[in-house]
Amino acid sequence: MASSAICLLVNQRALQFFFAVAMAFFLSAALLCGALSSGAIYSFSFSDIDGNKLSTADGHVTVLVLATAADWEKAREVGDRVPDRCLGNPNYRMITIIRFIRKHGPVMQKIATAVVKHRVTEEAKRLQSRYDTNKIVRDARHDIFTVIDFDGTVSSQLGEPAGATEFSIFVFGRQGELLAQWHGVPSDKQLAAVVK
């Protein structure tokens, strides 16, 4: 009788251990898959090419675009779809993270950074014309935030696996709550509804 009770206790302990290991495996797999949960609060921090310290939980509504260097047109399209009421408004911000898939040495990183800065300057000119049309008296270049991710550390904060190339958009509320995410360019109405 005592031996069967001991066997039952050992089996229960083995099942508890197995269950705990299985749960840990599934939770870590879910985290590695990169799925962020709508409504959850995320405080991701990074610095842009101008040295600005940025966070998804610093009081702004943040449209965050995660793109590769080949996705410039898609990133531009997202920027074009940001509602006019958000332009020049200190409560809103768009951050573009450019991730590089292949490893770059220090010299190539400097060249790539120079190319990105040139593109940002060109985008600032396009944005400035939109500011002028909307009578926003502000230098549009100060409202363009671009982060370069050479080693995957920024992308990994967003749950993106190393080497991933999927174009993604995240919208975070003022406290860092995830309001929406897309793996493609949302429509004007979709984006406007989220950043209201």
- Whole-number Å distance between alpha carbons of 196 and 180: 12
The domain segmentation of the chain, as residue ranges, is 1-33, 45-194
What pLDDT does residue 18 have? 41
Burial track 104-124 (b if 16+ CB lie within 10 A, e otherwise): eeeeeeeebbeebeebbeebb
Q: Is the pLDDT of residue 1 over 80?
A: no
What pLDDT does residue 190 have? 97
What pLDDT does residue 61 have? 98
Query: Which pLDDT tens digit goes with each residue over 99-136?
Result: 998 888 999 999 999 999 999 999 999 999 999 999 99
Q: Which CATH class is domain 45-194?
A: alpha beta
- Whole-number Å distance between alpha carbons of 21 and 6: 22
Confidence class of residue 161 from pLDDT cuts 50, 70 and 90?
A: confident
What pLDDT does residue 30 have? 38
3-class DSSP state of 17: helix
Q: Is the pLDDT of residue 59 over 80?
A: yes
- Whole-number Å distance between alpha carbons of 192 and 85: 10
Higher model confidence: residue 34 or residue 85? 85
What pLDDT does residue 180 have? 97
